[in-house]
Amino acid sequence: MLEVRGVSKRFRAPDGRARTALDDITLTVQPGRFCVLIGPTGCGKSTVLSMIAGLVRPSEGAILIDGQPVSGTDPRTGFMFQSDAVFPWKTVLGNVAAGPRFRGTPRREAAELARDWLRRVGLSGFEHYYPYQLSGGMRKRVALAQTLINGPQILLMDEPFSGLDAQTRQIMSDELLGLWEQLGASVLMVTHDLEEAIALADTVVVLTAGPATVKKEFAVDLPRPRSVREVRFQPRFVELHEQIWSCLSEEVSLAYARATTSP
């Protein structure tokens, strides 16, 4: 279980003044649940993920995994970044096998694991390609396999499908749901796409305009398994979209007003 307890984060601004990015954020992701953070641009969503991953330390509060404080990077946690975190000098197979190799898995066994995960994400036959030879969607598949091969108990995703065309994004979302249901990991994902958030999540958490705090949590009571395309036509999906957008739009308008009036 992932717990964020009263977490705040302050940064030093270029003018030397302290800036509060996050203020007293509290949320819980239960085992095997899919939670999505959504909020205005620049409100601190990615910072929340970075703190959970142990890459940034909170100024106040605590982050716990199974009751133990996070004090650095944790092998139980996987992080899929917005930008492709692939090694350009390695083949597709080498990229996906890198995690197990780093953790001490013998080369041959790591390669077999990597081939299995490439099959799962639909990249069989591309093992010896390099990242520059792949489309954007294929690179995202590599990044997904690269993250999931390590069997994370907690999966952090920072707008993992941004930059993809609508059709590829939908396919990737469906693939993510299928793989997540097999693994049973706890997921915390950041996105700006409200439809994507509702289609994927068990819980959608709306953050306020900065300094960000939790404004409201919405339980997504749509049945699983889900098809990302088909679920959007359900009346309950439309109802949830209206409720969450009503809550979110106030914060988006506030953030925009601040951005357009600040000196």
Q: What is the pLDDT of residues 180-201, one digit of tens each?
A: 988 889 999 999 999 999 999 9
In which element (H, E) is residue 95 found? helix 92-102
CA distances from 67 to 2, 21, 36, 64, 246 (A): 8, 25, 21, 5, 34
Beta strands (DSSP E) in the chain are 2-12, 18-29, 34-38, 60-65, 68-69, 77-80, 154-158, 186-190, 203-207, 214-219
Contact assessment for residue 4 and residue 24, using Cβ atoms and an 8 Å cutoff: no
Instruction: Report how far residue 34's alpha carbon sits from residue 79's, in angstroms, rounded to the nearest whole number.
Output: 14
pLDDT at 241 over 70: yes
> For position 259, what pLDDT does the model report?
80
> For position 44, what pLDDT does the model report?
87
Q: What is the pLDDT of residues 113-165, one digit of tens each?
A: 999 999 999 899 999 999 999 998 899 899 999 999 999 999 999 998 887 88
> For position 25, what pLDDT does the model report?
95
Instruction: Name every residue whose Cβ is closer than 8 Å to that of residue 249 and which is 6 or more positions away in sequence.
Output: none
pLDDT at 234 over 90: yes
Q: State the fold for domain 25-76+152-263.
A: Rossmann fold (3.40.50)
> For position 78, what pLDDT does the model report?
92
> For position 262, what pLDDT does the model report?
58
> For position 255, what pLDDT does the model report?
85
Contact assessment for residue 35 and residue 155, using Cβ atoms and an 8 Å cutoff: no
> For position 263, what pLDDT does the model report?
57
> For position 161, what pLDDT does the model report?
87
CA distances from 248 to 8, 156, 169, 180, 245 (A): 21, 22, 22, 27, 5
Strand 186-190 relative to strand 34-38: parallel, antiparallel, unpaired?
parallel
pLDDT at 51 over 80: yes
> For position 74, what pLDDT does the model report?
87
Q: What is the pLDDT averaged over residues 51-63?
A: 93
Q: What percent of the chain has pLDDT over 90?
A: 72
pLDDT at 13 over 90: no
CA triplet 98, 102, 104: central angle to 5 degrees? 120
Contact assessment for residue 105 and residue 112, using Cβ atoms and an 8 Å cutoff: no
Instruction: Report how far residue 136's alpha carbon sits from residue 131's, in angstroms, rounded to the nearest whole number.
Output: 9
> For position 164, what pLDDT does the model report?
83
Contact assessment for residue 209 and residue 258, using Cβ atoms and an 8 Å cutoff: yes
What's the Rg (C-alpha) of the chain?
19
Spans of all domains in the chain: 25-76+152-263, 86-151
